[in-house]
Amino acid sequence: GLETPLNLLYNKIADLLHKKAQPIYNKDRSGEQIRHYLDSSKIKKETGWISKYSLDEGLPITIEFAQKKNFEI
């Protein structure tokens, strides 16, 4: 439910992986969407679903799962 800038998310993941964040920036393309924000209110309204975890709680769980499944991260 909170907007999270991509750079902040990237840095959080790099920290959890104990890697130096090295983002690659490209020029904006004409017509490219600048901000992305997902709103879970519709699924909550339709099904009663709510997130069990905050971003800071869920990222380590997700990374641990990916590592156990040998996903390339």
> What is the pTM for the complete model shown?
0.79
Q: How far apart are CA 18 and CA 43, in angstroms?
A: 34
Distances (CA, A) of 24 to 7, 8, 50, 59, 69: 11, 14, 34, 22, 27
pLDDT at 1 over 80: no
pLDDT digits (tens, 9 = 90+) for 58-70: 999 999 999 999 9
The chain-wide mean pLDDT, for the chain, equals 92
Length of the chain: 73
First to last CA, the chain: 25
pLDDT digits (tens, 9 = 90+) for 35-46: 888 888 999 999
Q: When comparing pLDDT for 73 and 64, which is higher? A: 64
